[in-house]
């Protein structure tokens, strides 16, 4: 029976490790931004320190960093759009209520 664990490419692992070891981002921040377990990232870092993670180009590292930033921005955009929609509905509700009060 195979395990239900998700598989990450060697490149993805190496890029995540580089974010922590070379870009001075915290392990918690990287795991949260890349949506991976903090323990999984810790395991990758340990292996990297023992020379078991392949090296990658700086171009690929930049790609992973940008992908993490895109995820964070998409989440922020979704929140902003939800807040905007709530404000639109509230504005319409109070405008309608105000109109009823002036016709009395």
pLDDT at 7 over 90: no
Type and span of the H or E element at 94: helix 58-102
78 in any annotated domain? yes
4 in any annotated domain? no
In this prediction, residue 3 has a pLDDT band, given cuts at 50, 70 and 90, of very low
CB atoms within 10 A of CB 8: 15
pTM confidence score: 0.47
| CA of residue 22 relative to chain centroid, distance | 19
Model confidence pLDDT, tens digit, residues 52-91:
655 555 556 677 778 888 889 999 999 999 999 999 999 9
Q: Which residue has the higher pLDDT, 98 or 30?
A: 30
38 in any annotated domain? yes
54 in any annotated domain? yes
62 in any annotated domain? yes
Q: Is 40 exposed, middle or buried (0-12, 13-18, 19+ CB in 10 A)?
A: middle
58 in any annotated domain? yes
Q: How many domains does the chain have?
A: 1
Tokens of 43: 């395991």
Note the pLDDT of residue 12.
86
In this prediction, residue 103 has a pLDDT band, given cuts at 50, 70 and 90, of low
56 in any annotated domain? yes
Residue 96 belongs to domain spanning: 10-102
Note the pLDDT of residue 56.
54
């Amino acid at each position: 029976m195979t395990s239900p664990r998700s598989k990450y490419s060697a490149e993805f692992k190496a890029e995540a490790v580089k974010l922590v070891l070379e870009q001075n981002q915290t392990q918690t921040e990287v795991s949260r931004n890349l949506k991976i377990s903090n323990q999984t990232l810790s395991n990758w870092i340990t292996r990297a320190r023992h020379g078991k993670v392949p090296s990658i180009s700086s171009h690929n590292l930049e790609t992973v960093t940008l992908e993490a930033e895109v995820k964070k921005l998409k989440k922020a955009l979704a929140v902003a759009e939800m807040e905007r929609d709530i404000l639109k509905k509230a504005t319409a509700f109070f405008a309608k209520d105000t109109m009823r009060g002036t016709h009395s």
